[in-house]
C-alpha cells in the first residue's frame, strides 16, 4: 500500500515484514482507521485459518473465532480522516476534488500525501522487529508475527490474547516444539 | 449539485457530529492539497519565499513543514 511508503517500517524493520504491515494497513483502511496497529495485524493472522498463528492458538486451546470476537471492539469501523459524507454535507464533492487533483498530480495523488497517510502504531513496529528476531533467519511466518506481538506486552494484540491466557512463554514453547 | 441555500442550511447543521467531522475532513483535505501544491511548486523551482507568500504564512513555517520531506525525497533518487 502506497500510504506507508514514505514512513515505511522498512526503516526500522525488514522487507519480510512488509506483507504483514500491508495486510494490516488494508484492514485499517477498510475500517476507516487513521493508523495501523497490532489489532489489525492480529485480525489478519486469525483470519488465515490454516496459518501458523491460528495453529499455535489452537494448541493453546484458543480458537481463531474467539480471538476475532474479542478483537471486534477494537475494530469498529469509523469515519476516515477525509470523510466524503461529511464533506458532502458542506457541499464538497470529494470525488470531483480527487479527479481535479489527479489531472495535475497523477493517479492516487491524494492518497499519497502525508495528510491522508496511515500512521503506524510504534508498538506494531516493535512487534514486527521482534517477529524477525523470533524467526531467527527462517522465513517469516504467521507464528513469528504472533510471537512478536506477544513480546510487546502493552500492545492491543497482546492484551486481547492475554484474555485467553495466551502468553509469550506458552506460544514460544508451542512454536519451538512444532519446529523441531 | 445542491442549491446554495441548501448548502448553507447543511453547513449550519444542527448536528454537531456532522459539523465537526466536516471540519476535520476539510482540514485534512486542505493539508493534503497544500502538500501536493507545495511539492510541485518546489519541483518547478519556486522558492520557499514565493510559496509562503501565496499561502500567507512565513517562509520559515512552510520550510519547516515541507523542507525535511524534500531532502528525504531527493536523497532517495
Beta carbons within 8 Å of A60's beta carbon, 6+ residues apart? A164, A165, A166, A170, A171, A174
- CA distances, A50 to each of A47, A54, A167, B35 (Å): 9, 7, 21, 43
What are residue A35's phi and psi, to 5 degrees?
Answer: -145, 165
What are residue A119's phi and psi, to 5 degrees?
Answer: -85, 155
A30 part of a folded domain: yes
Please judge whether A115 and B22 are an interchain contact, meaning their C-beta atoms are less than 8 angstroms apart: no
pTM of the full structure: 0.66
Give me the domain span that covers residue A129.
Answer: 2-81+116-178
Instruction: Tell me the C-alpha distance between A151 and A158, whole Å.
Output: 8
Looking at the 3D structure of chain A, how many domains does it have? Answer: 1
With CA atoms as reference, the chain A residue closest to B72 would be A6
Which residue is it, cell 441555500? B5
Instruction: Divide the 180 residues of chain A into consecutive groups of 10 and give the mean pLDDT of each group.
Output: 43 75 89 90 95 95 94 87 87 93 89 78 95 92 96 94 95 87
Q: Enter the ipTM.
A: 0.72
Q: Residue ranges per domain, chain B? A: 15-76
A144 part of a folded domain: yes
A12 part of a folded domain: yes
- DSSP class of residue A4 equals G
A102 part of a folded domain: no
Please judge whether B22 and A114 are an interchain contact, meaning their C-beta atoms are less than 8 angstroms apart: no
The CATH number of the domain holding residue A22 is: 1.10.1780.10
Amino acid at each position: 500500500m502506497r500510504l506507508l511508503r514514505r514512513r515505511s517500517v522498512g526503516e526500522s524493520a525488514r522487507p519480510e515484514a512488509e506483507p504483514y504491515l500491508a495486510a494490516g494497513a488494508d484492514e485499517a483502511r477498510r475500517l476507516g482507521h487513521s493508523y495501523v496497529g497490532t489489532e489489525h495485524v492480529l485480525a489478519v493472522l486469525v483470519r488465515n485459518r490454516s496459518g501458523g498463528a491460528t495453529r499455535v492458538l489452537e494448541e493453546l486451546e484458543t480458537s481463531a473465532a474467539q480471538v476475532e470476537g474479542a478483537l471486534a471492539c477494537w475494530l469498529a469501523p469509523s469515519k476516515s480522516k477525509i470523510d466524503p459524507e461529511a464533506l458532502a454535507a458542506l457541499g464538497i464533492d470529494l470525488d470531483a476534488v480527487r479527479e481535479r487533483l489527479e489531472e495535475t498530480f497523477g493517479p492516487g495523488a491524494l492518497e499519497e500525501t502525508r495528510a491522508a497517510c496511515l500512521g503506524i502504531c510504534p508498538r506494531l513496529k516493535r512487534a514486527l522487529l521482534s517477529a524477525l528476531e523470533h524467526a531467527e533467519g527462517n522465513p517469516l511466518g504467521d507464528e513469528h508475527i504472533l510471537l512478536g506481538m506477544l513480546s510487546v506486552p502493552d500492545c492491543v494484540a497482546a492484551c486481547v490474547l492475554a484474555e485467553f491466557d495466551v502468553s509469550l512463554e506458552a506460544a514460544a514453547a508451542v512454536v519451538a516444539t512444532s519446529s523441531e | 449539485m445542491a442549491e446554495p441555500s441548501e448548502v448553507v442550511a447543511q453547513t449550519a447543521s444542527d448536528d454537531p457530529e456532522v459539523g465537526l467531522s466536516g471540519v476535520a475532513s476539510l482540514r485534512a483535505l486542505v493539508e493534503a492539497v497544500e502538500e501536493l501544491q507545495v511539492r510541485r511548486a518546489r519541483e518547478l523551482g519556486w522558492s520557499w519565499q514565493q510559496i509562503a507568500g501565496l499561502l500567507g504564512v512565513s517562509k520559515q513555517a512552510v520550510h519547516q513543514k515541507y523542507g525535511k520531506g524534500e531532502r528525504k525525497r531527493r536523497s532517495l533518487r
